[in-house]
């Protein structure tokens, strides 16, 4: 459920009419709903209670500081994968003890930043990383709390580009080698082992792969404890999928996911951490665009928008589906037309949808991509020198621009001319 509904014939974000935002910021823009973000975050905390837990929002899915502050104020932790994301979490006022640092390629500089600024734990992904972190922590006179990310060799049954839990993927250490690697970690001076981390992929639409992975983590917890390690935290990653179409998809609910966690690892006395991104942010955002032209091609009609693949790359990158709706509510049983929905970028890959059935539209009409909150704005680029799309946050009857559209002056100023030119 989200808070983007038609009221009096016009699509609203909570209490705000989308055309009112368009009149202020121009199109295209992203708009996020505070009520939806809040509701989705609470679904997870409710599903995990009464287990001791921390829901760490995966910042990579939607990293605007105003969004992070919205969630941070509710008590959310943050899962960061770069120094930049760490600084965003801090800028949103989230204390270090609620920030976990994931990722296969943390640099020493990033380690230093997080260690000095405060960090709940590093989720370490390799032996060289263990050694580097121990060195950095020791040089600062600090101890780094760590989990080790294990790769459970489980098929997440999701898009190949976002599956991470198979042994051929670059993530984590093979679970079969965990004893050895934990022994090395325990012997390193700058580290304190606190738990185990696992993340098997994104947009999972079944619970079974989670179950397989979490049962392996439960076994490993017992084994590592018997080998003398103190395991007090389990970071179970993110990945729970969302419905991208309103008709035929019903991915598992956070309550079912919470029940699965309790059933598989709930008796171990560990604090549970999860790192959901998409389920919190995905359906909390729209990308709103205008129709520039309707072009009648040979055997197909093109709806040419002012948004493009650089603004929302998921369709061209993963073949992902996003529902597209008109901002003006179509009358019941209104006629429809099939369109290829495309952007202005100069490559055929700049296609959002082919043969999409849409209500009749005209040039200048507003349309909205649903489920665009996660991996939308954060994956945008300035390809074709198209300015990054502004972001707007709605809260009840109010809205605020939380990132402005850059001017061309600002964009051009970033390029510098060397002295010989």
**101 binds ligand LLP per the rule CB under 6 A:** no
**Of 56-64, 124-132, 302-310, 329-337, which segment contacts ligand LLP by CB under 6 A?**
56-64
**74 binds ligand LLP per the rule CB under 6 A:** no
Residue 193 backbone dihedrals phi, psi, to 5 degrees: -75, 125
The CB-side HSE value for 178 (13 A sphere, CA atoms) comes to: 26
Residue 44 to residue 23: CA distance in whole angstroms: 36
Where are the extended beta strands (E) located within 63-179?
A: 77-80, 99-101, 121-124, 144-151, 173-174
**239 binds ligand LLP per the rule CB under 6 A:** yes
Exactly one of 88, 314, 370, 386 binds ligand LLP (CB under 6 A); which one? 314
Angle 290-294-299 from CA coordinates, rounded to 5° = 140
**165 binds ligand LLP per the rule CB under 6 A:** no
Task: Give catalytic status of residue 346 as yes or no.
Answer: yes
Residue 80 to residue 60: CA distance in whole angstroms: 7
**238 binds ligand LLP per the rule CB under 6 A:** yes
**Of 14-22, 138-146, 199-207, 336-344, which segment contacts ligand LLP by CB under 6 A?**
199-207
**69 binds ligand LLP per the rule CB under 6 A:** no
**Of 14-22, 211-219, 271-279, 406-414, which segment contacts ligand LLP by CB under 6 A?**
271-279
Angle 174-188-221 from CA coordinates, rounded to 5° = 45
Q: Extract the tokens encoding 366.
A: 């507003």
Q: Extract the tokens encoding 382.
A: 């300035």
The rounded radius of gyration (Å) of the Cα atoms in the chain is 23
**371 binds ligand LLP per the rule CB under 6 A:** no
Give the pairing type, strands 29-33 and 16-17: unpaired
Q: Extract the tokens encoding 17.
A: 């009419």
Exactly one of 33, 82, 126, 202 binds ligand LLP (CB under 6 A); which one? 202
Q: Which of 403, 382, 390, 402 is nearest to 288 (CA)?
A: 390
Pick 158 or 221: Cβ nearer ligand LLP: 158
Exactly one of 140, 162, 294, 401 binds ligand LLP (CB under 6 A); which one? 162
**401 binds ligand LLP per the rule CB under 6 A:** no
Pick 163 or 185: Cβ nearer ligand LLP: 163
Q: Which of 137, 142, 102 is nearest to 121 (CA)?
A: 102
Q: Extract the tokens encoding 102.
A: 């994931």
Find the binding residues for ligand LLP in span 103-142 (CB under 6 A).
Answer: none
**58 binds ligand LLP per the rule CB under 6 A:** yes
Q: Which residue among the candidates 5, 91, 334, 346 is catalytic per the annotation?
A: 346
**151 binds ligand LLP per the rule CB under 6 A:** no
Binding site for ligand LLP (CB under 6 A): 58, 60-61, 79, 102, 162, 199, 202-203, 237-239, 275-279, 314, 318, 374-375
List the catalytic residues: 346
């Amino acid at each position: 459920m989200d808070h983007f509904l038609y009221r009096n014939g016009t699509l609203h974000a909570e209490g705000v009419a989308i055309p009112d935002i368009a009149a202020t910021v121009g199109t295209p823009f992203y708009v996020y709903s505070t009520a939806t973000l809040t509701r989705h975050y609470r679904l997870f905390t409710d599903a995990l209670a009464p287990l001791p837990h921390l829901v760490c929002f995966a910042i990579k899915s939607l990293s605007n500081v105003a969004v992070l502050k919205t969630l941070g104020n509710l008590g959310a932790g943050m899962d960061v994968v770069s120094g930049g994301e760490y600084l965003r979490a801090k800028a949103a006022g989230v204390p270090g003890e609620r920030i976990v640092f994931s990722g296969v390629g943390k640099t020493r500089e990033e380690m230093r930043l997080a260690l000095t600024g405060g960090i709940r734990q590093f989720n370490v992904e390799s032996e060289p990383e263990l050694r580097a972190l121990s060195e950095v922590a020791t040089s600062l006179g600090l101890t780094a709390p760590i989990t080790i990310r294990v790769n459970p060799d489980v098929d997440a049954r999701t898009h190949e580009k976002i599956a991470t839990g198979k042994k051929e993927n670059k993530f984590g250490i093979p679970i079969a080698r965990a004893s050895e690697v934990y022994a090395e970690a325990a012997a390193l001076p700058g580290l304190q082992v606190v738990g185990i981390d696992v993340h098997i992929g994104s947009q999972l639409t079944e619970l079974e792969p989670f179950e397989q992975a979490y049962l392996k983590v439960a076994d490993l917890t017992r084994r590592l404890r018997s080998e003398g390690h103190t395991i007090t935290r389990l970071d179970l990653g993110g990945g729970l999928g969302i419905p991208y179409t309103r008709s035929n998809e019903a991915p598992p609910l956070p309550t079912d996911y919470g029940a699965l966690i309790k059933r598989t690892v709930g008796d171990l006395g560990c604090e549970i951490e999860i790192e959901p991104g998409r389920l919190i942010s995905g359906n909390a955002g729209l990308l709103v665009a205008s129709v520039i032209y309707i072009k009648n091609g040979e055997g197909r009609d093109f709806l040419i928008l002012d948004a493009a693949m650089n603004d929302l790359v998921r369709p061209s990158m993963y073949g992902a589906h996003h529902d597209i709706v008109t901002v003006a509510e179509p009358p019941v049983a209104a006629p429809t037309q099939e369109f290829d929905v495309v952007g202005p970028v100069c490559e055929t890959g700049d296609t959002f949808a082919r043969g999409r059935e849409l209500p009749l539209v005209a040039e200048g009409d507003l349309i909205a991509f649903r489920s665009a909150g996660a991996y939308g704005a954060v994956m945008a680029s300035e390809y074709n020198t198209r300015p990054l799309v502004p972001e707007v946050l709605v809260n009840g009857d109010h809205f605020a621009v939380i990132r402005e559209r850059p001017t061309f002056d600002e964009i051009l100023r970033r390029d510098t001319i060397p002295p010989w030119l």
